[in-house]
Chains A and B, each alone.
Chain A
Amino acid sequence: MKPIDYQSVMARRNETMLSAMGLDYAPFLEHPVTFDYEALMAQVPYSLDMVREIQARVGVGNTALIELRQINRLVRMLAPKGKGARIFVKDEAANPSGSYKARRAALSMHHAKEAGFKGAVAATSGNYGAAVASQAAMRGLDCIVVQEVFDSLGIGQPEILEKGRACEIYGAEVLQLSVGPELFYQFLRVLEETGYFNASLYTPYAIAGVEPLGVEIVEQMQAATGAAPDVVICTHAGGGNLTGTARGLQKAGAAGCKVVAASVDLSGLHMASDTDFNRKHFTTGHTGFGIPFAGWPDRTDVPRNAARALRYMDRYLLVKQGEVFYVTEALARLEGLERGPAGNVALAAAIALAQEMDEDQTIVVQETEYAGAGKQPSAQLSFARARGIEIRRGDPEDEIPGAAVVIPDHPSRIKLRDVDLPRVRKSLIRKAAGLMPEGRKLDAEDLNFLAAETRSTPAFVEACVT
Protein backbone atom coordinates (compact mmCIF):
# COMPACT_ATOMS: atom_id res chain seq x y z
CA MET A 1 0.00 0.00 0.00
CA LYS A 2 1.27 3.46 -0.87
CA PRO A 3 2.11 5.81 2.03
CA ILE A 4 -0.55 8.49 2.50
CA ASP A 5 1.33 11.08 4.52
CA TYR A 6 1.37 14.65 3.18
CA GLN A 7 4.85 14.55 1.60
CA SER A 8 4.33 11.17 -0.10
CA VAL A 9 0.95 12.06 -1.58
CA MET A 10 2.19 15.44 -2.81
CA ALA A 11 5.27 13.80 -4.34
CA ARG A 12 2.99 11.58 -6.44
CA ARG A 13 0.79 14.47 -7.58
CA ASN A 14 1.80 14.59 -11.26
CA GLU A 15 1.33 10.88 -11.75
CA THR A 16 -2.00 10.98 -9.86
CA MET A 17 -3.33 13.91 -11.86
CA LEU A 18 -2.26 12.48 -15.19
CA SER A 19 -3.84 9.08 -14.69
CA ALA A 20 -7.03 10.84 -13.58
CA MET A 21 -7.62 12.75 -16.80
CA GLY A 22 -7.10 10.54 -19.78
CA LEU A 23 -5.03 13.33 -21.37
CA ASP A 24 -1.36 13.21 -22.32
CA TYR A 25 0.40 16.39 -21.16
CA ALA A 26 3.91 15.08 -21.91
CA PRO A 27 4.33 16.95 -25.24
CA PHE A 28 3.44 20.19 -23.46
CA LEU A 29 6.00 19.75 -20.69
CA GLU A 30 9.10 19.09 -22.80
CA HIS A 31 10.28 22.70 -22.60
CA PRO A 32 10.27 24.54 -19.24
CA VAL A 33 8.35 27.51 -20.67
CA THR A 34 7.21 27.15 -24.26
CA PHE A 35 4.52 24.78 -25.50
CA ASP A 36 1.97 24.64 -28.29
CA TYR A 37 -1.16 26.06 -26.65
CA GLU A 38 -3.40 25.44 -29.65
CA ALA A 39 -2.25 21.82 -29.75
CA LEU A 40 -3.19 21.52 -26.07
CA MET A 41 -6.67 22.86 -26.86
CA ALA A 42 -6.84 20.49 -29.84
CA GLN A 43 -6.75 17.55 -27.39
CA VAL A 44 -10.50 18.09 -27.29
CA PRO A 45 -11.61 15.92 -30.20
CA TYR A 46 -14.84 17.82 -30.89
CA SER A 47 -15.64 20.67 -33.24
CA LEU A 48 -17.43 23.71 -31.89
CA ASP A 49 -20.71 22.46 -33.37
CA MET A 50 -20.25 19.09 -31.66
CA VAL A 51 -19.58 20.82 -28.33
CA ARG A 52 -22.81 22.79 -28.75
CA GLU A 53 -24.70 19.60 -29.54
CA ILE A 54 -23.25 17.74 -26.53
CA GLN A 55 -24.27 20.64 -24.30
CA ALA A 56 -27.71 21.09 -25.86
CA ARG A 57 -28.49 17.43 -25.10
CA VAL A 58 -28.14 18.17 -21.38
CA GLY A 59 -29.91 21.52 -21.41
CA VAL A 60 -26.75 23.59 -21.19
CA GLY A 61 -26.31 26.87 -23.09
CA ASN A 62 -28.57 28.87 -25.39
CA THR A 63 -29.39 31.20 -22.51
CA ALA A 64 -31.26 34.43 -23.07
CA LEU A 65 -29.49 37.69 -23.88
CA ILE A 66 -31.32 40.53 -22.13
CA GLU A 67 -30.89 44.24 -22.74
CA LEU A 68 -30.85 46.09 -19.40
CA ARG A 69 -33.06 48.95 -20.55
CA GLN A 70 -33.65 50.62 -17.19
CA ILE A 71 -30.01 50.43 -16.19
CA ASN A 72 -29.08 51.77 -19.62
CA ARG A 73 -31.36 54.77 -19.05
CA LEU A 74 -29.59 55.36 -15.77
CA VAL A 75 -26.17 55.10 -17.45
CA ARG A 76 -27.18 57.68 -20.07
CA MET A 77 -28.23 60.07 -17.30
CA LEU A 78 -24.84 59.72 -15.63
CA ALA A 79 -22.70 59.79 -18.79
CA PRO A 80 -21.50 62.88 -20.70
CA LYS A 81 -23.60 63.80 -23.76
CA GLY A 82 -23.20 61.27 -26.57
CA LYS A 83 -21.78 58.66 -24.21
CA GLY A 84 -23.46 55.65 -22.58
CA ALA A 85 -23.06 52.29 -24.32
CA ARG A 86 -26.00 49.85 -24.21
CA ILE A 87 -25.48 46.99 -21.74
CA PHE A 88 -26.80 43.47 -22.37
CA VAL A 89 -26.51 40.50 -20.03
CA LYS A 90 -26.26 36.78 -20.80
CA ASP A 91 -28.59 35.07 -18.34
CA GLU A 92 -26.36 32.13 -17.50
CA ALA A 93 -28.33 31.48 -14.31
CA ALA A 94 -30.71 29.59 -16.62
CA ASN A 95 -28.22 26.72 -17.02
CA PRO A 96 -29.14 23.44 -15.23
CA SER A 97 -27.04 24.09 -12.11
CA GLY A 98 -27.66 27.84 -12.11
CA SER A 99 -24.42 29.21 -13.54
CA TYR A 100 -22.22 29.21 -16.64
CA LYS A 101 -20.08 26.58 -14.87
CA ALA A 102 -22.49 23.98 -16.27
CA ARG A 103 -20.82 24.62 -19.63
CA ARG A 104 -17.41 23.65 -18.27
CA ALA A 105 -18.75 20.65 -16.39
CA ALA A 106 -20.86 19.39 -19.31
CA LEU A 107 -17.96 18.80 -21.67
CA SER A 108 -15.71 17.44 -18.88
CA MET A 109 -18.33 14.94 -17.75
CA HIS A 110 -19.05 13.92 -21.34
CA HIS A 111 -15.34 13.17 -21.72
CA ALA A 112 -15.17 11.35 -18.37
CA LYS A 113 -18.05 9.10 -19.39
CA GLU A 114 -16.59 8.44 -22.86
CA ALA A 115 -13.19 7.63 -21.32
CA GLY A 116 -14.79 5.03 -19.06
CA PHE A 117 -14.42 6.73 -15.67
CA LYS A 118 -17.01 5.71 -13.07
CA GLY A 119 -17.01 9.05 -11.32
CA ALA A 120 -15.43 12.47 -10.98
CA VAL A 121 -13.76 14.51 -8.27
CA ALA A 122 -13.73 18.31 -8.16
CA ALA A 123 -11.83 20.56 -5.78
CA THR A 124 -13.90 23.74 -5.63
CA SER A 125 -15.82 25.93 -3.23
CA GLY A 126 -17.64 27.61 -6.09
CA ASN A 127 -20.56 27.09 -8.44
CA TYR A 128 -18.45 24.53 -10.30
CA GLY A 129 -19.07 21.87 -7.62
CA ALA A 130 -22.82 21.96 -8.21
CA ALA A 131 -22.21 22.02 -11.97
CA VAL A 132 -20.07 18.86 -11.89
CA ALA A 133 -22.51 17.17 -9.50
CA SER A 134 -25.44 18.04 -11.76
CA GLN A 135 -23.70 16.90 -14.96
CA ALA A 136 -22.46 13.71 -13.27
CA ALA A 137 -26.00 12.95 -12.07
CA MET A 138 -27.30 13.26 -15.64
CA ARG A 139 -24.81 10.61 -16.75
CA GLY A 140 -25.07 8.23 -13.81
CA LEU A 141 -21.52 9.04 -12.69
CA ASP A 142 -20.43 9.31 -9.06
CA CYS A 143 -19.30 12.75 -7.92
CA ILE A 144 -17.12 13.81 -5.00
CA VAL A 145 -16.61 17.50 -4.24
CA VAL A 146 -13.81 18.67 -1.96
CA GLN A 147 -14.68 22.12 -0.59
CA GLU A 148 -13.01 24.69 1.62
CA VAL A 149 -15.97 25.57 3.83
CA PHE A 150 -15.24 26.65 7.38
CA ASP A 151 -12.71 28.36 9.61
CA SER A 152 -11.16 26.81 12.74
CA LEU A 153 -14.28 27.75 14.72
CA GLY A 154 -16.34 25.56 12.40
CA ILE A 155 -18.09 28.58 10.87
CA GLY A 156 -18.79 28.83 7.16
CA GLN A 157 -20.09 31.90 5.35
CA PRO A 158 -23.59 31.51 3.89
CA GLU A 159 -22.63 31.47 0.21
CA ILE A 160 -20.25 28.55 0.71
CA LEU A 161 -22.79 26.64 2.80
CA GLU A 162 -25.28 27.06 -0.03
CA LYS A 163 -22.79 25.73 -2.55
CA GLY A 164 -22.25 22.65 -0.38
CA ARG A 165 -25.97 22.06 -0.09
CA ALA A 166 -26.37 22.34 -3.86
CA CYS A 167 -23.72 19.64 -4.40
CA GLU A 168 -25.51 17.34 -1.95
CA ILE A 169 -28.87 17.81 -3.64
CA TYR A 170 -27.34 16.51 -6.89
CA GLY A 171 -26.08 13.45 -5.03
CA ALA A 172 -22.44 14.36 -4.53
CA GLU A 173 -20.35 13.17 -1.61
CA VAL A 174 -19.15 16.47 -0.15
CA LEU A 175 -15.92 16.66 1.84
CA GLN A 176 -16.01 19.93 3.76
CA LEU A 177 -12.60 21.18 4.85
CA SER A 178 -11.28 23.99 6.97
CA VAL A 179 -9.15 26.76 5.50
CA GLY A 180 -5.91 25.98 3.74
CA PRO A 181 -4.32 25.11 0.40
CA GLU A 182 -3.60 21.58 1.62
CA LEU A 183 -7.12 20.83 0.47
CA PHE A 184 -5.21 19.72 -2.60
CA TYR A 185 -3.67 16.89 -0.56
CA GLN A 186 -7.09 15.54 0.39
CA PHE A 187 -8.19 15.92 -3.24
CA LEU A 188 -5.21 13.82 -4.42
CA ARG A 189 -5.97 11.16 -1.80
CA VAL A 190 -9.54 10.87 -3.08
CA LEU A 191 -8.29 10.61 -6.67
CA GLU A 192 -5.88 7.84 -5.66
CA GLU A 193 -8.50 5.94 -3.66
CA THR A 194 -11.23 6.10 -6.30
CA GLY A 195 -9.48 6.25 -9.67
CA TYR A 196 -12.15 8.77 -10.64
CA PHE A 197 -11.77 11.53 -13.22
CA ASN A 198 -10.08 14.78 -12.17
CA ALA A 199 -12.81 17.26 -13.07
CA SER A 200 -10.38 20.15 -13.02
CA LEU A 201 -11.59 23.58 -14.06
CA TYR A 202 -8.44 23.95 -16.11
CA THR A 203 -8.39 21.08 -18.63
CA PRO A 204 -8.88 21.82 -22.34
CA TYR A 205 -12.39 20.33 -21.92
CA ALA A 206 -13.32 22.80 -19.21
CA ILE A 207 -12.26 25.69 -21.44
CA ALA A 208 -13.62 24.41 -24.76
CA GLY A 209 -16.95 24.04 -22.95
CA VAL A 210 -17.11 27.83 -22.51
CA GLU A 211 -16.40 28.67 -26.17
CA PRO A 212 -20.06 28.35 -27.23
CA LEU A 213 -20.85 31.17 -24.77
CA GLY A 214 -18.74 33.54 -26.86
CA VAL A 215 -20.32 32.27 -30.06
CA GLU A 216 -23.86 32.68 -28.70
CA ILE A 217 -23.05 36.27 -27.68
CA VAL A 218 -22.04 37.15 -31.24
CA GLU A 219 -25.07 35.41 -32.78
CA GLN A 220 -27.54 36.97 -30.36
CA MET A 221 -26.03 40.45 -30.60
CA GLN A 222 -26.11 40.26 -34.38
CA ALA A 223 -29.79 39.40 -34.17
CA ALA A 224 -30.49 42.15 -31.61
CA THR A 225 -28.35 45.00 -32.91
CA GLY A 226 -26.99 43.91 -36.29
CA ALA A 227 -23.40 43.65 -35.06
CA ALA A 228 -21.10 41.86 -32.63
CA PRO A 229 -20.63 43.73 -29.33
CA ASP A 230 -17.84 46.29 -28.91
CA VAL A 231 -16.94 44.95 -25.46
CA VAL A 232 -17.54 41.73 -23.54
CA ILE A 233 -16.91 41.89 -19.80
CA CYS A 234 -16.12 38.71 -17.89
CA THR A 235 -15.99 38.26 -14.13
CA HIS A 236 -12.44 37.01 -13.68
CA ALA A 237 -10.96 34.59 -11.14
CA GLY A 238 -9.12 31.50 -12.40
CA GLY A 239 -9.26 32.68 -16.02
CA GLY A 240 -11.38 29.95 -17.64
CA ASN A 241 -14.44 32.11 -18.07
CA LEU A 242 -12.55 34.82 -19.91
CA THR A 243 -10.36 32.44 -21.91
CA GLY A 244 -13.23 30.29 -23.16
CA THR A 245 -15.49 33.24 -23.93
CA ALA A 246 -12.74 35.10 -25.81
CA ARG A 247 -11.90 32.01 -27.87
CA GLY A 248 -15.58 31.68 -28.74
CA LEU A 249 -15.77 35.33 -29.80
CA GLN A 250 -12.79 34.78 -32.09
CA LYS A 251 -14.27 31.60 -33.55
CA ALA A 252 -17.45 33.55 -34.29
CA GLY A 253 -15.41 36.14 -36.17
CA ALA A 254 -15.74 39.00 -33.66
CA ALA A 255 -12.08 39.94 -33.91
CA GLY A 256 -12.70 43.60 -33.07
CA CYS A 257 -14.55 42.89 -29.83
CA LYS A 258 -12.57 43.95 -26.75
CA VAL A 259 -12.42 41.48 -23.87
CA VAL A 260 -12.42 43.07 -20.43
CA ALA A 261 -11.87 41.30 -17.12
CA ALA A 262 -13.46 42.41 -13.85
CA SER A 263 -12.70 41.29 -10.30
CA VAL A 264 -13.79 42.38 -6.84
CA ASP A 265 -11.03 44.17 -5.01
CA LEU A 266 -10.17 42.12 -1.92
CA SER A 267 -6.67 43.48 -1.52
CA GLY A 268 -5.29 43.10 1.99
CA LEU A 269 -7.08 39.82 2.69
CA HIS A 270 -5.00 36.64 2.51
CA MET A 271 -6.73 33.75 0.75
CA ALA A 272 -5.14 31.09 2.98
CA SER A 273 -5.77 32.91 6.26
CA ASP A 274 -8.01 31.22 8.81
CA THR A 275 -8.96 34.61 10.27
CA ASP A 276 -9.54 36.44 6.95
CA PHE A 277 -11.64 33.57 5.56
CA ASN A 278 -15.03 34.77 6.83
CA ARG A 279 -14.23 38.46 6.37
CA LYS A 280 -14.65 38.40 2.59
CA HIS A 281 -18.10 38.56 1.11
CA PHE A 282 -17.27 37.06 -2.26
CA THR A 283 -15.97 33.54 -2.63
CA THR A 284 -14.87 33.95 -6.24
CA GLY A 285 -14.48 36.59 -8.95
CA HIS A 286 -12.08 38.45 -6.70
CA THR A 287 -8.49 39.68 -6.83
CA GLY A 288 -7.30 36.86 -4.54
CA PHE A 289 -7.62 34.55 -7.54
CA GLY A 290 -7.82 37.01 -10.43
CA ILE A 291 -4.45 38.72 -10.08
CA PRO A 292 -2.29 35.63 -9.38
CA PHE A 293 -3.99 33.56 -12.09
CA ALA A 294 -3.61 36.32 -14.69
CA GLY A 295 0.06 36.69 -13.77
CA TRP A 296 0.79 32.96 -13.66
CA PRO A 297 -1.84 30.44 -14.85
CA ASP A 298 0.14 27.28 -14.07
CA ARG A 299 -0.72 27.18 -10.38
CA THR A 300 -3.49 24.62 -10.62
CA ASP A 301 -4.42 20.96 -10.43
CA VAL A 302 -3.23 20.26 -14.00
CA PRO A 303 0.33 20.29 -15.41
CA ARG A 304 -0.55 22.95 -18.01
CA ASN A 305 -3.50 25.23 -17.45
CA ALA A 306 -5.74 25.60 -20.51
CA ALA A 307 -7.15 28.83 -19.02
CA ARG A 308 -4.65 31.51 -20.00
CA ALA A 309 -6.52 34.76 -19.49
CA LEU A 310 -3.68 37.17 -20.19
CA ARG A 311 -3.62 35.93 -23.80
CA TYR A 312 -7.05 37.44 -24.36
CA MET A 313 -7.40 40.30 -21.86
CA ASP A 314 -7.56 43.80 -23.35
CA ARG A 315 -8.24 45.50 -20.03
CA TYR A 316 -8.69 44.48 -16.37
CA LEU A 317 -11.01 46.46 -14.08
CA LEU A 318 -11.52 46.26 -10.32
CA VAL A 319 -14.77 46.92 -8.50
CA LYS A 320 -15.57 47.22 -4.80
CA GLN A 321 -17.70 44.78 -2.83
CA GLY A 322 -20.19 47.55 -2.00
CA GLU A 323 -20.57 48.41 -5.68
CA VAL A 324 -21.46 44.83 -6.57
CA PHE A 325 -24.08 44.56 -3.82
CA TYR A 326 -25.51 47.90 -4.99
CA VAL A 327 -25.67 46.71 -8.60
CA THR A 328 -27.28 43.44 -7.49
CA GLU A 329 -30.00 45.53 -5.86
CA ALA A 330 -30.30 47.63 -9.04
CA LEU A 331 -30.68 44.51 -11.21
CA ALA A 332 -33.55 43.30 -9.03
CA ARG A 333 -35.27 46.67 -8.59
CA LEU A 334 -34.84 48.12 -12.07
CA GLU A 335 -34.76 45.04 -14.28
CA GLY A 336 -36.77 42.54 -12.25
CA LEU A 337 -33.91 40.03 -12.24
CA GLU A 338 -32.89 38.57 -8.89
CA ARG A 339 -29.45 37.07 -9.42
CA GLY A 340 -26.50 36.15 -7.20
CA PRO A 341 -23.94 38.87 -6.46
CA ALA A 342 -20.81 37.04 -7.68
CA GLY A 343 -22.15 37.04 -11.23
CA ASN A 344 -22.70 40.79 -11.05
CA VAL A 345 -19.06 41.75 -10.67
CA ALA A 346 -18.80 42.33 -14.41
CA LEU A 347 -22.09 44.24 -14.40
CA ALA A 348 -20.74 46.75 -11.88
CA ALA A 349 -17.71 47.30 -14.10
CA ALA A 350 -19.95 47.59 -17.18
CA ILE A 351 -21.99 50.41 -15.62
CA ALA A 352 -18.81 52.46 -15.15
CA LEU A 353 -17.28 51.49 -18.51
CA ALA A 354 -20.46 52.25 -20.49
CA GLN A 355 -20.20 55.88 -19.41
CA GLU A 356 -16.92 56.38 -21.25
CA MET A 357 -18.10 54.59 -24.40
CA ASP A 358 -20.22 56.12 -27.18
CA GLU A 359 -23.97 55.66 -27.05
CA ASP A 360 -24.02 53.67 -30.30
CA GLN A 361 -21.66 51.09 -28.78
CA THR A 362 -22.57 47.93 -26.88
CA ILE A 363 -21.32 45.90 -23.92
CA VAL A 364 -22.21 42.31 -23.07
CA VAL A 365 -21.94 41.18 -19.47
CA GLN A 366 -21.48 37.49 -20.14
CA GLU A 367 -22.95 35.84 -17.05
CA THR A 368 -25.44 35.86 -14.22
CA GLU A 369 -25.60 33.22 -11.47
CA TYR A 370 -28.58 31.81 -9.57
CA ALA A 371 -29.82 33.39 -6.39
CA GLY A 372 -30.93 31.43 -3.34
CA ALA A 373 -30.63 31.22 0.41
CA GLY A 374 -27.09 32.17 1.40
CA LYS A 375 -26.35 33.82 -1.92
CA GLN A 376 -28.27 37.06 -1.61
CA PRO A 377 -26.73 40.30 -0.36
CA SER A 378 -29.14 39.97 2.59
CA ALA A 379 -27.44 36.74 3.72
CA GLN A 380 -23.90 37.86 2.96
CA LEU A 381 -24.15 41.29 4.53
CA SER A 382 -26.11 40.12 7.60
CA PHE A 383 -23.34 37.58 8.20
CA ALA A 384 -20.71 40.31 7.75
CA ARG A 385 -22.48 42.72 10.06
CA ALA A 386 -22.77 40.03 12.76
CA ARG A 387 -18.99 39.65 12.57
CA GLY A 388 -18.35 43.33 13.19
CA ILE A 389 -17.86 44.45 9.60
CA GLU A 390 -19.20 47.93 9.03
CA ILE A 391 -21.87 48.27 6.33
CA ARG A 392 -22.61 51.85 5.33
CA ARG A 393 -23.51 54.17 2.46
CA GLY A 394 -20.89 56.48 1.00
CA ASP A 395 -18.01 56.44 -1.44
CA PRO A 396 -16.87 52.86 -2.22
CA GLU A 397 -13.33 54.21 -2.52
CA ASP A 398 -13.35 54.23 1.29
CA GLU A 399 -14.09 50.50 1.47
CA ILE A 400 -11.58 48.40 3.43
CA PRO A 401 -11.83 44.67 2.63
CA GLY A 402 -12.44 42.78 5.86
CA ALA A 403 -13.43 45.90 7.82
CA ALA A 404 -15.99 47.93 5.88
CA VAL A 405 -18.36 47.51 2.95
CA VAL A 406 -19.37 50.86 1.47
CA ILE A 407 -22.54 50.82 -0.61
CA PRO A 408 -22.55 53.74 -3.06
CA ASP A 409 -24.71 56.69 -1.99
CA HIS A 410 -25.28 57.49 -5.67
CA PRO A 411 -24.86 55.50 -8.90
CA SER A 412 -22.23 58.01 -10.07
CA ARG A 413 -19.94 56.57 -7.36
CA ILE A 414 -19.35 53.40 -9.39
CA LYS A 415 -15.90 53.97 -10.86
CA LEU A 416 -13.35 52.46 -13.24
CA ARG A 417 -10.15 51.22 -11.64
CA ASP A 418 -7.64 49.74 -14.06
CA VAL A 419 -5.19 47.01 -13.11
CA ASP A 420 -1.75 47.87 -14.51
CA LEU A 421 -1.69 45.17 -17.20
CA PRO A 422 1.85 45.86 -18.49
CA ARG A 423 3.02 45.15 -14.94
CA VAL A 424 1.13 41.84 -14.81
CA ARG A 425 2.60 40.91 -18.22
CA LYS A 426 6.09 41.78 -17.07
CA SER A 427 5.67 39.64 -13.97
CA LEU A 428 4.61 36.61 -16.03
CA ILE A 429 7.50 37.06 -18.47
CA ARG A 430 10.09 37.38 -15.70
CA LYS A 431 8.78 34.32 -13.90
CA ALA A 432 8.91 32.33 -17.16
CA ALA A 433 12.46 33.52 -17.86
CA GLY A 434 13.42 32.34 -14.37
CA LEU A 435 12.36 28.80 -15.29
CA MET A 436 14.95 28.52 -18.06
CA PRO A 437 17.90 26.27 -17.18
CA GLU A 438 21.15 27.93 -16.16
CA GLY A 439 22.98 29.37 -19.15
CA ARG A 440 20.08 28.92 -21.59
CA LYS A 441 18.41 32.02 -22.94
CA LEU A 442 14.96 32.54 -24.39
CA ASP A 443 15.16 32.00 -28.15
CA ALA A 444 12.98 33.49 -30.87
CA GLU A 445 10.34 30.80 -30.43
CA ASP A 446 10.19 31.44 -26.68
CA LEU A 447 9.85 35.19 -27.24
CA ASN A 448 6.96 34.60 -29.62
CA PHE A 449 5.32 32.24 -27.15
CA LEU A 450 5.59 34.73 -24.29
CA ALA A 451 4.33 37.53 -26.51
CA ALA A 452 1.23 35.42 -27.22
CA GLU A 453 0.96 34.49 -23.53
CA THR A 454 0.85 38.16 -22.55
CA ARG A 455 -0.92 39.71 -25.56
CA SER A 456 2.22 41.76 -26.21
CA THR A 457 5.11 41.71 -28.69
CA PRO A 458 8.45 39.87 -28.82
CA ALA A 459 10.13 43.27 -28.38
CA PHE A 460 8.16 43.87 -25.17
CA VAL A 461 9.13 40.41 -23.90
CA GLU A 462 12.77 41.04 -24.69
CA ALA A 463 12.68 44.41 -22.94
CA CYS A 464 11.22 42.76 -19.82
CA VAL A 465 14.05 40.25 -19.47
CA THR A 466 17.02 42.47 -20.30
Chain B
Amino acid sequence: MTIQTGDWVRIHSVILTPAERASAIPQETRAVPLEMRVKGWLVTAGASIGDAVEIRTTLGRSYHGTLEAVNPPYGHDFAAAIPELLRAGEELRAILAKAEGETT
Protein backbone atom coordinates (compact mmCIF):
# COMPACT_ATOMS: atom_id res chain seq x y z
CA MET B 1 0.00 0.00 0.00
CA THR B 2 1.33 3.43 -0.91
CA ILE B 3 1.04 5.95 1.83
CA GLN B 4 1.02 9.57 0.72
CA THR B 5 2.52 12.55 2.47
CA GLY B 6 -0.36 14.42 4.01
CA ASP B 7 -2.17 11.23 5.04
CA TRP B 8 -3.48 11.20 8.63
CA VAL B 9 -1.42 8.52 10.36
CA ARG B 10 -0.40 7.18 13.75
CA ILE B 11 3.20 6.66 14.82
CA HIS B 12 4.71 4.73 17.69
CA SER B 13 7.82 5.48 19.71
CA VAL B 14 9.54 4.34 22.88
CA ILE B 15 9.85 7.06 25.51
CA LEU B 16 11.79 5.02 28.08
CA THR B 17 13.37 1.58 27.67
CA PRO B 18 12.89 -0.90 30.54
CA ALA B 19 16.36 0.05 31.85
CA GLU B 20 15.43 3.75 31.94
CA ARG B 21 12.15 3.28 33.81
CA ALA B 22 11.48 4.51 37.35
CA SER B 23 12.49 2.12 40.11
CA ALA B 24 9.36 2.39 42.24
CA ILE B 25 6.93 0.70 39.83
CA PRO B 26 5.67 -2.89 39.70
CA GLN B 27 7.98 -5.48 38.16
CA GLU B 28 5.61 -6.28 35.26
CA THR B 29 5.58 -2.59 34.27
CA ARG B 30 9.36 -2.23 34.55
CA ALA B 31 9.79 -5.22 32.27
CA VAL B 32 8.29 -3.35 29.31
CA PRO B 33 9.13 0.01 27.70
CA LEU B 34 7.10 3.20 28.18
CA GLU B 35 5.57 3.68 24.74
CA MET B 36 3.78 6.55 23.04
CA ARG B 37 1.38 6.81 20.10
CA VAL B 38 0.58 10.09 18.35
CA LYS B 39 -1.51 10.96 15.30
CA GLY B 40 -0.69 13.55 12.69
CA TRP B 41 -0.17 14.39 9.00
CA LEU B 42 2.61 12.34 7.39
CA VAL B 43 5.61 14.47 6.35
CA THR B 44 8.02 11.75 5.13
CA ALA B 45 7.65 10.81 1.45
CA GLY B 46 7.58 7.24 0.14
CA ALA B 47 7.00 5.66 3.53
CA SER B 48 5.56 2.24 4.31
CA ILE B 49 4.20 0.77 7.54
CA GLY B 50 7.12 0.08 9.87
CA ASP B 51 9.33 2.88 8.52
CA ALA B 52 10.82 5.65 10.64
CA VAL B 53 8.86 8.79 9.72
CA GLU B 54 8.05 12.35 10.73
CA ILE B 55 4.54 13.68 11.30
CA ARG B 56 3.00 17.07 12.04
CA THR B 57 0.20 17.03 14.59
CA THR B 58 -2.96 19.06 14.39
CA LEU B 59 -1.06 21.80 16.26
CA GLY B 60 1.75 21.72 13.69
CA ARG B 61 4.24 20.13 16.08
CA SER B 62 6.74 17.60 14.73
CA TYR B 63 7.16 14.05 16.04
CA HIS B 64 9.35 11.19 14.84
CA GLY B 65 8.49 7.51 15.21
CA THR B 66 7.61 4.27 13.51
CA LEU B 67 4.69 4.46 11.09
CA GLU B 68 2.06 2.18 12.56
CA ALA B 69 -1.28 2.84 10.88
CA VAL B 70 -3.06 5.08 8.38
CA ASN B 71 -6.12 6.74 9.87
CA PRO B 72 -6.79 3.97 12.38
CA PRO B 73 -10.39 3.58 13.59
CA TYR B 74 -11.09 4.56 17.19
CA GLY B 75 -12.28 1.01 17.72
CA HIS B 76 -14.44 1.49 20.79
CA ASP B 77 -18.20 1.13 20.52
CA PHE B 78 -21.26 0.33 22.64
CA ALA B 79 -20.50 -3.43 22.45
CA ALA B 80 -23.35 -5.80 23.33
CA ALA B 81 -26.06 -5.36 25.93
CA ILE B 82 -25.37 -7.01 29.28
CA PRO B 83 -28.19 -9.52 29.96
CA GLU B 84 -27.49 -9.41 33.71
CA LEU B 85 -28.19 -5.66 33.68
CA LEU B 86 -31.22 -5.96 31.39
CA ARG B 87 -32.75 -8.40 33.85
CA ALA B 88 -31.87 -6.14 36.76
CA GLY B 89 -33.65 -3.28 35.00
CA GLU B 90 -36.77 -5.37 34.47
CA GLU B 91 -36.75 -6.47 38.11
CA LEU B 92 -36.51 -2.91 39.35
CA ARG B 93 -39.48 -1.90 37.23
CA ALA B 94 -41.41 -4.91 38.54
CA ILE B 95 -40.63 -4.06 42.17
CA LEU B 96 -42.00 -0.53 41.72
CA ALA B 97 -45.00 -1.72 39.69
CA LYS B 98 -45.90 -4.26 42.37
CA ALA B 99 -45.71 -1.60 45.07
CA GLU B 100 -47.95 0.64 42.96
CA GLY B 101 -50.49 -2.19 42.70
CA GLU B 102 -50.45 -2.63 46.46
CA THR B 103 -51.05 1.00 47.25
CA THR B 104 -53.80 1.75 44.72
Contacts and interface: CB of A to CB of B under 8 A. Distances in A.
Interface string A26-54: 00000000000000000000000000000
B96 A73 contact: yes
Interface string B36-55: 11111000000000000000
B77 to A, nearest CB: 5
Contacts of A267: none
Question: Contact size class for A?
Answer: 35 or more
A173 interface: yes
Contacts of B79: 158, 376, 378-379, 381-383
Contacts of A175: 36-38
B85 interface: yes
B101 interface: no
A273 B78 CA distance: 26
A332 interface: yes
A182 interface: yes
A102 to B, nearest CB: 21
A326 B28 CA distance: 33
Contacts of A183: 34
A411 B91 CA distance: 10
Contacts, number: 152
A174 B38 contact: yes
Interface stretch (A11-19, A161-169, A307-315): A161-169
Contacts of A325: 82, 85
Contacts of A244: none
Contacts of A142: 59
Given A180-B22, A272-B26, A165 B76 contact: yes
B82 A74 contact: no
Interface string A153-189: 0000010011011001001111111111111011000
Given A152-B32, A173-B38, A373-B76, A272 B93 contact: no
B83 to A, nearest CB: 9
A173 B58 CA distance: 6
A274 B33 CA distance: 11
A365 B40 CA distance: 40
A441 B34 CA distance: 42
A179 B25 CA distance: 10
Name which of B32, B76, B95 has the most chain A CB atoms within 10 A of its CB.
B76
Contacts of B84: 391-393, 407
A333 interface: yes
Contact of B77 (A186, A334, A373): A373
Interface string A402-434: 000001101100000000000000000000000
A346 B81 CA distance: 24
A194 B62 CA distance: 12
Contacts of A164: 74
Given A162-B74, A180-B22, A378-B81, 7 more contacts: A77-B95, A173-B40, A173-B57, A173-B61, A330-B88, A378-B85, A393-B87
9 contacts: A173-B61, A182-B21, A274-B32, A329-B85, A329-B92, A379-B79, A382-B80, A407-B85, A407-B88
Q: Which 4 A-B pairs have the closest CB atoms?
A: A382-B79, A374-B76, A152-B32, A333-B89
Interface of A: 5-6, 70, 73-74, 77, 119, 142, 144, 149-150, 152, 158, 161-162, 164-165, 168, 171-183, 185-186, 194, 270, 272-275, 325-326, 329-330, 332-334, 373-374, 376-379, 381-383, 391-393, 407-408, 410-411
Interface of B: 15-16, 20-22, 25-26, 28-29, 31-40, 57-59, 61, 74-82, 84-85, 87-89, 91-93, 95-96, 99
